[in-house]
Chain A
Amino acid sequence: MTAPTEKQNIHDYLAEFDDIPGTRVFTAARARKGYWLNQFAMSLMTPENREAWKADERKYLENWPMSDEQREAILARDYNRCLDLGGNVYFLAKVFSTDGLSFAEAVSSMTDMTFPEYREMMNKGGRSPQGNRSIKGGY
């Protein structure tokens, strides 16, 4: 617990996030890197844009000043790669919703499980926090 008067230094605050296993916290650095990737995804909120995207994905991406890596990651639906390149799941959700995928199915694609395996894990109480809290601490 941090007392209310103790203000945390931004560098220390951000550094702590790297210790969480299998997690990309959506920091300002990631938000900057992924700006156009996320704005592209956002554009899929209208039916007209969804149609244009479905008709020719690669052509649709030409309208957005994204990096080649970001374009390839989206075309491959490699969501972990998208996260590394600054994508945020609530924005990427516009892409997988357009694909007709549920949140659970899209999310499962970022784990080492198949969707049925992932669904079974969730129905049995989800992934345990045990051993998943800290890389350095191993707890």
Chain B
Amino acid sequence: MARITAGVASSHVPLLGVAVDQGKTGDEYFGPIFAGYEWTKAWEKEEKPDVVILVYNDHASAFDMKIIPTFAIGCGERYKSADEGWGPRPVPDVEGHADLGWHIAQSLILDEFDMTIINEMDVDHGMTVPLSMMFGQPEKWPVKVVPLAVNVVTYPVPSGNRCWALGEAIARAVESFPEDLNVQIWGTGGMSHQLQGPRAGLLNREWDNKFLDMLIGDSDAARFIPHLEYLRETGSEGIEMVMWLVMRGALGKKTKCLHRHYHIPCSNTAIGHLVLEPTE
């Protein structure tokens, strides 16, 4: 039987990908950011997950304004690195797990989550940066990935409560997959950042840390944070944190924190990173 053994949350700032690709991860600026991922890199080597369900958002790469799926799941065999305007990142292709992807998609639909199915797409920094942060620069990514794309660009985006409930349904779906698989779920994006308008550059260390606290233990208060609060407190792009709630929802009633990291700034953004384990 497949099982979700851990949840990982991480920002996915594109500049982190640039730092990896250009060998700058140890310099004065990036060093403190990457240092906070060393623990996780070593832990991932021990854990050896088979599959990561990677919750992320597309940044006008695979999806343009033609079609805007609220929740979409990747059921393909392989995804290439997207050209985001400066050429594709030099990273390995992301290998899908089509059997698990389709199993989760079908289960979610029966469970009343009306998913969009993706068979082919390119994946942008939203997915490849977290992979680089957790696995470095391998020839081939050491896991298969089931992409779970959430619309956090065009409003209304899904509520935190709905994201959490989707996570709960994903956990049920994974548990009913017959193959013995070690599955992790990652929630990416955030933390506080605003990339537009005169208020650009807003960061909120206090609020971000309160949010990190809320994901640890048995509280489910985070699922009821309204969009307006994310917008006011964490900037227009801080709304990406609803994707962390899909991850948290999938971990069940209670979590234990294995690792936590927070750093300001990376470019325009506050970096947050958590490794959580379900405890019951």
Any chain A CB within 8 A of the CB of B19?
no
List the B side residues contacting A107 at CB < 8 Å. 195-196, 200-201, 268
Docked-complex contact A21 and B199, CB < 8 angstroms? yes
Secondary structure dominating the interface of A: helix
Residues of A within 8 A of B155 (CB): 14, 17, 25-28
Q: Which residues of chain B from 1 to 24 have a CB within 8 Å of any chain A CB?
A: 14-15
Contact of B60 with A125 in the complex, beta carbons under 8 Å: no
Q: Does A112 contact B (CB under 8 A)?
A: yes
Q: Out of B197, B202, B221, which one reaches A80, CB within 8 Å?
A: B197
Q: Is A116 an interface residue (CB 8 A)?
A: no
Q: How far is the CA of A45 from the CA of B203 in the complex (A)?
A: 30
Cβ-defined contact, A126 with B231, below 8 A: no
Min Cβ gap A102→B in Å is 7
B143 at the interface (CB under 8 A from A): no
Q: How long is the Cα–Cα vector from A46 to B88 in the complex, in angstroms?
A: 10
Q: Which of B196, B199, B204, B231 has the most CB of A within 10 A?
A: B196
Contact string against B for A residues 12-55, beta-carbon threshold 8 Å, 1 for contact and 0 otherwise: 01101100111111111001000100110110111100100000
User: Across the interface, which residues of A come within 8 angstroms of B45, CB to CB?
Assistant: none
Q: Which of B162-206 contact A (CB under 8 A)?
A: 192, 194-205
Which A residues have a C-beta under 8 Å from some C-beta of B? 1-4, 8, 10, 13-14, 16-17, 20-28, 31, 35, 38-39, 41-42, 44-47, 50, 79-80, 83, 88-91, 93-94, 97-98, 102-104, 107-108, 110-112, 118, 121-123, 125-129, 132-134
A-B contact pairs, 14 of them (CB 8 A): A4-B224, A17-B228, A38-B65, A45-B85, A83-B196, A91-B60, A91-B65, A97-B85, A98-B86, A102-B15, A108-B201, A112-B198, A118-B200, A125-B203
